[in-house]
Amino acid sequence: MILKAEKISKEFIREMKNTNRFFAVQETDFILESGSLTVLMGRSGSGKSTLLNMFAGLMLPTSGKILLDNTDMYSLPDKELSEFRNRHIGVIPQGQTALHSLNVLENVCLPYTLGGEDAHEADALALLETLEIAPLQAAMPAELSGGELRRMAIARAFLRKPEIILADEPTSDLDDETTKIVFSFLKHAAQNGSAVFVVTHENDAVQYADRVFRMNAGILEEQ
Partner 1 sequence: MKFSKSLPFRNLAGKPVRTTVLILLTALLSLTVFGGTLMIISLKTGLHSLESRLGADIMVVPYEATTKANLENIVLQGATGYFYMDNARYEKIADCDGIGQISAQFFLASASSSCCSVAVQIIGFDPETDFTITPWIQKSYGQELQKFDVVVGNDLNAFVGDTITFYGIDCHVAAKLDKTGTAFDTAVFTNQETIKALIQSSLDLKMNTFQNIDPEKVVSCVMINAAEGYTVEEIVNDINIHVKKVKAIQTKEMISGISDSLAGISDIISILILVVWVLGVVILLLAFTMSVNERKKEFAVLRVIGASRNRLAGIVMQEALLTCLSGSIIGTALGLVIIMPFHQMIEEQLNLPFLLPASGKIIGFVIAAVLVSVLSGCISAAASAFRISRIDTALILRGDN
- Written as one letter, the residue type at 168 is D
Residue 158 CB, nearest distance to partner 1 (Å)? 12
User: Nearer Cβ to partner 1, position 1 or 59?
Assistant: 59
Residue 54 CB, nearest distance to partner 1 (Å)? 9
User: Nearer Cβ to partner 1, position 111 or 182?
Assistant: 111
Nearest residue to 165 via CA among 192, 191, 188, 198: 198
Q: Strand order in 164-168's β-sheet?
A: 89-92, 164-168, 195-199, 36-42, 211-216, 219-222
Residue 91 CB, nearest distance to partner 1 (Å)? 5
Residue 8 CB, nearest distance to partner 1 (Å)? 14
d(CA 174, CA 75): 37
Residue 201 CB, nearest distance to partner 1 (Å)? 12
User: Nearer Cβ to partner 1, position 119 or 212?
Assistant: 119
Q: At what angle do helices 121-130 and 146-158 cross, to 10 degrees?
A: 130
Task: Report residue 148: phi and psi, to 5°.
Answer: -65, -40
User: Nearer Cβ to partner 1, position 48 or 208?
Assistant: 48
d(CA 214, CA 203): 12
The footprint of partner 1 (CB under 8 A) covers 49-50, 53, 56, 58-59, 78-79, 82-83, 85-87, 91, 93-102, 106, 110-111, 113-117, 119, 156
Cβ(209)–Cβ(39) under 8 Å? yes
User: Nearer Cβ to partner 1, position 119 or 139?
Assistant: 119
